Amino acid sequence: MKNKTIFVACDTSDLDKVKKIINKTRNNKIKIIPKFGLQFFYSKRGRKFLEKMKYDFWLDLKINDIPQTAISALDSLKDLKKCKYITVHASGGLEMLKAVKKKTKKINKNLKVLVVTVLTSLNDKSLKQIGHTKKVKRLVLKQAALVKQSNCDGIVCSAKEALMVRRKYKNFLIITPGIRLPGDNSDDQMRIMTPKDAFKNKVSGIVIGRSLIKGNIKNNTKRLLDHLNK
């Protein structure tokens, strides 16, 4: 399991709970990296905590703006030395993606840019409501082409599209949210998959939140390890 990367979604503004999540998911059997989204980053103590992080983490801000604003946002994150991954939205367009990737090379050569495609809370019906004419799979593949053109490092998509993307783009980092342990509720997610099935679809890593952090975190982590070992 050493070659499998797990990102645990620290979806809370409670600093004590975040510390608990990090401590109780750390183990020597599989690599688990904390992922921080808007909820924690916007919290009063969250930003300060990330400045002092001693371990690699993913900052999931899903930047989506005009190129100059996007790269200015990156400038404000220069002090987060252990930030290894940052997310931007594919809908920001090719020029924004290029600008962000170029900027990261200047501020942190180890920072990986992951491009968010269609959120896992959306489906074909949702896309039609927004105004898209393509179905989820075709839109994800279209957005993956932007990742290639921009030289960004990888893509965030559901595990249901991962194999399709992998067949075309062999060297992409492919990270998949919408992951649930067998028997867990899907909640607000539309396109979900179990960890084991996701890795069968050639993903580089998975994001798992509620299945790990709700209830007994140590027991949930053991459930995850047992599931992957079957």
Q: Give Cα separations from 71 to 34, 149, 163 (angstroms).
A: 24, 18, 31
Q: Can you tell me which residue has the tokens 């990330």?
A: 50
Q: How many CB atoms lie within 10 A of CB 25?
A: 22
Long-range own/partner contacts, residues 105-111 (CB < 8 A, 24 or more apart):
107/74, 107/75, 107/77, 107/78, 108/78, 108/81, 108/83, 110/84, 111/83, 111/84, 111/85, 111/86
Q: 112 an active-site residue?
A: no
Written as six digits, the tokens of 209 are 């939140």
Strands 112-116 and 154-156: parallel
Written as six digits, the tokens of 32 are 């688990």
Instruction: Exactly one of 4, 24, 35, 62 is catalytic; name it.
Output: 62
Residues with catalytic annotation? Answer: 62
